[in-house]
Amino acid sequence: MSLVKKFATVGGATLGSRLFGFIRETFMAAALGTGPVADAFNTAFRLPNTFRRLFAEGAFNSAFVPLFAKEIEAHGMDGARRFSEEVFGVLFTVLLLLTIAMELAMPFIVGQLIAPGFADDPAKFTSTVTFATIMFPYLACMSLAAMMAGMLNSLHRYFAAAIAPVFLNFILIGVLAYAWYSGQDAVAVGYDLSWGVLAAGLVQLAIVWVAVRNAGIRIGFRRPRLTANVKRLLVLALPAAITGGITQINLLINTNIASAKEGAVSSLVYADRIYQLPLGVVGIAVATVLLPELARALRGGNLNEAANLQNRSVEFTLFLTLPAAAALLVMSEPIVRLLFERGQFSPESTVVVGHILAIYGLGLPAFVLIKAFIPGFFAREDTRTPMIFAGISVAVNVSLALTLFPLLAASGIATAEIVAGWVNALLLFATLVWRGHWGRDIPLLTRIPRLVIAAAVMAAALYFAVDRLAFPLSSAAPLTTRALTLCGLIAAAMAIYFAVAFGIGGASLSMVRRSVKRGASASSVERASEGVDRQ
């Protein structure tokens, strides 16, 4: 399977999850708006998400995947199963102890660390603590699921791990639909959503557990022991977990700052949901596929293949994210108005969230490039350097957020995030070049400026079109009119971008065809090699 096809497999599944996420957020915006219950739920949900990314995604995607792949090569599937059982025993025990401790300390954590701004509103504070207490076990479910997703990715089975998150959206959409049907008040909706998150964690864990068993690995529970393999994993995973932890602590600090202003937390979450669509579909797909592919090329000593994988991944991410960034910058308010402005979500909320979304659009290429650059370090078992750079970016973010929040409110926090993202991306890229891990690629260097030009032409056309179509995009127009107008603008923008990009040489159909052929050829060699290994 070619690199592009693998990106498409993961990206397509992620796209489905994100689209249902839009539906979920649309229902939630109508039910809760940017009011106190929305702030309480979004703040409480951020807590298990933070620890999930700290203990699972960052550590396992960077350290577990290469080590698991090595075990498969060195000792076959039986060795990989033993290694996964050793890791499972330790991870499960740590998560159990952490969950118990966090449940007992939840009032202190919310009041002192996460949302001190809620202390002046007892009802809001109590709701946040209760919601967080209900949802926190979601951390354990998703952390174990992330480990199994890493196993599936190493075995080239991407779909189950990518599609599992959609069930969170299925369940929460069902909860919100029932709340609307039964006429529940906002607080009751918050409780039901919290229980829905916990149920979704159990369902997602079950999906990847079954997929791992179908892949030929049955994980049993072993008494937690620090074996040599587990110690090696911890040595590699600790800096990666700190890297992910720094980023998540960054988000918690932003939540802490935003809690001082009514509606700021929810406004950031709604804007984040929209910009996460291109970031998730492209960025997560690239990061998920690139790490095991790059690690395999480096282990085989194929430096040219490794360089080509990195360059083509960057080319692919920029080809898709530059127009997305331009579109978010130019027509953020019409997008927010169509998706969220109904029920408790007011026109004033649309303006605030639209401004934040436009700012996030400027940072979109940076955050996607970070996901393309980091595998270049993790595949070489260097998890320390990204940790240092993440720390620098957090320092930049916190300094700017504290400076800009009194002046720009939630928009100041978004500005701080995107500046910190660009700092991180530039540091990662410069280090890869300096170490000689990034080969000079003339086609890439010539295509990037042309892609920027194509995106700029598209943005200019959209700017004038949005101005001319002010009424069909306004809240005064019927929903169907707004939806059809926005879809027409997006289709026209895509046509303009692709026409200009291919016309001036920013993209090439022949290059895509060569990539697919190379991928097919490489897959044939891999299958032959695997057959020899099994014999």
Dist CA 95 CA 110 (whole Å)? 20
Tokens standing for 97? 């102890």
Q: Which single residue is written with the structure tokens 């920029």?
A: 318
Contacts of 399 (CB under 8 A, 6+ apart): 416
Does the pLDDT value for residue 96 go beyond 80? yes
What does pLDDT average to over the chain? 81
Q: What angle do CA 112, 115, 116 make, to 5 degrees?
A: 50
Residue 518 has a pLDDT of 44
Q: Is 220 exposed, middle or buried (0-12, 13-18, 19+ CB in 10 A)?
A: exposed
pLDDT score of 490: 92
- Between helix 186-214 and helix 138-154 the angle, nearest 10°, is 30
Q: Distance (Å, rounded) from C-alpha 44 to C-alpha 58?
A: 21
Residue 534 is predicted with a pLDDT of 32
Q: How confident is the model at residue 284 (pLDDT cuts 50, 70, 90)?
A: low
Pick from 219, 213, 51, 33: nearest CA to 132: 51
Residue extents of the structural domains in the chain: 59-242
Average pLDDT over residues 386-410: 90
DSSP E strands: which ranges in 209-357?
none
pLDDT of residue 515: 46
Per-residue pLDDT at 7: 54
- Lookup: tokens for 189: 């909706």
Does 499 have pLDDT greater than 60?
A: yes
pTM of the model: 0.69
CA diameter of the chain: 69
Q: Average of pLDDT values for 76-104?
A: 86
Three-class SS of residue 473?
Answer: coil
**Using CA atoms, how far apart are residues 147 and 59, in angstroms rounded to an integer?**
9
pLDDT at residue 244, rounded to an integer = 59
Contact 162, 14 (CB under 8 A): yes
So what's the pLDDT on residue 247?
Answer: 60
The predicted-structure confidence for 411-439, as pLDDT tens digits, reads as follows: 999 999 999 999 999 999 999 989 888 77
Residue 474 in 3-state DSSP? coil
478 DSSP 8-state letter: -
Q: Is 532 helix (H, G, I), strand (E, B) or coil?
A: helix
Between the CA of residue 54 and those of 15, 16, 58, 72, 529, what are the distances in Å? 24, 25, 6, 26, 36
Residues in the chain: 535
pLDDT tens-digit map of 446-494: 889 999 999 999 999 999 999 999 889 998 899 899 999 999 999 999 9
Rg of the chain over Cα atoms, rounded to whole angstroms, equals 23
